[in-house]
Structure 1
Amino acid sequence: MRTRHLTVDNCDNCGNGGGRMIGQLRESSPLRTGPYETLARLGAGGMGEVFLAAPGPHEPGRPYDPDTLVAVKAIRKDLAGDAAFRARFRREISVATSVASPFVARLVAGDADAGQPWLATEYVAGPNLADAVRRHGPLPVASVAALGAGTARALAAVHAAGALHRDLKPANVLLGADGPKLIDFGVARALGATTMTSTGLLVGTPGFMSPEHVAGGRHVVAASDVFCLASVLAYAASGDDPFGDGPVAAVLYRVSRAEARLDGVPEELRELLAACLSRDPGERPGPEEVAAGLEALWG
């Protein structure tokens, strides 16, 4: 294992934007990505690895300024060789740059033309919602309302920029010191992606999909993100997946039928979440309406 001496003021026990502990760099980990020095490994996903990084060069022994830290996603080398993927990645970076919201992890920089394409977003020192609920249980109604209002405002900003999130789930909502931060929206989606890969593997998290996801990626619309947001908030409020567990096929069937269980959700939230979980996308409220309804509860 390769390691760097990491000293960050006021960041002795930072989260990593993904809720996992900061990990050591591997032998295969890059020492630099673009203009950034990689400091630690934060995790990996379907499109590549994510690293904690800071602008370089850095003076040895000097603490890193937490305000300059970023989370850098380095794209897999096999995808880097796909010209169509690079073109889509380039467009997505452009769209993400235009998203302005205090509830979205800000895109700092990106390079779709590098030998290994990458993008950097602001580093959020806090756990994700999935880990927070697993460790501490359901959130109080006021906390769920505040969390949901901020995330709904984030979705509104993403949609206004001409993008969709497509993968809203508890692990993609970070609990920062200044409120929720939405991550991983519309970036690095393979061209022509559907719910299933060519090898039959599922793309996404079954219990936090929408009926449109199950029907196929081309059916996903802005209202699909609202459906997924309601599932996330039901989880935050009850501690349970709204579409239950069991075989993936059974969960997907319940999602396709919009058969969510909300009996564990506090009554104050139930009516609004049920509206968001309508099977018909046209009957769901928009994110601004959701935010307003939740802010009324929070206030």
Structure 2
Amino acid sequence: MISIFTAPKPFTNPHIAIIQRNAIRSWKAVGAEVILVGDDEGVAEAARDLDVIHKPEVVRNAYGTPKIDSIFALGREAASGEMLAYINTDVMLLPDFMDTAMRLAEQEKQFLIIGQRWDLDVRQELDFSDGWVDRLQKDIKTRARRHPRGGSDYFLFPRQVFTYIPPFAIGRAGWDNWMIYEARQRGWKVIDGSADINIIHQDHDYSHLPGGKPHYKLPESFENVKAGGGNRTIFTLDDCNYVLKEQKLERFPGSWKKFWREVEIIPLVRWHSSFFTNIFFALFHPKKAYREWRSQLSSRQA
């Protein structure tokens, strides 16, 4: 059993409601247990209609945004599976997600799987009867666009890891990067599953966010980065140390860029030293370090 938990947006926007229902139906179609966390409008009704578990008692921050630590605690509490996954509620899955997860769980005990997504414009509720996998795979080939390697829309891991999560705000920048950093500094295998796992993100606007602004421009995103340990813990897919290819686990492909990045983060993920982390950052990024120093100096003088 793989248990997927998520914190949906309100089901008040017709398009958001459609893509969230599509995502949840796809998770059920691949055989996962599904848990919806939160008490936003329409979530309880969707959980009932789609016959999935509902945990409404989420804790919110001062802005009214659900907190990641609460979402993970409620999801873990309700989950039956030994494998857990947090997935954004606009993302559809195919059977390759389950197949890859189960095979890897037989080989490894502590790991995190993340990966790139496909972006697809979806405007109607989809049919998940016989042949749905072929239909979606055809859409990937003919209409979908490969998203850049920044950010993550799913996190797949064994139950025994990620038992502690800082009080991040959901739907804001920074917390997904911290997940990668945390796994690396704990010594778990961080695996890029992009080659084997095809996830489909359904396009949407930012009308659900305050002022319609992208999440990375909101104050909560800056607070997330601070809660996660600052800018040095902003890790990306390129900070994975393993990849999955045709169900085989391999070391992340070598390059000079990758080599020097691994050298740069040694003080952070191995020595756990903020002092040497900043020294190494200044050596590798002198202009950025200088700008940070000037900015901090100006803030103190103000």
Per chain length, whose mean CA-contact separation is higher, i.e. which structure has more relative contact order (CA < 8 Å, sep 6+)? 2
TM-score (norm 1): 0.29
Higher share in helix: 2
TM-score (norm 2): 0.29
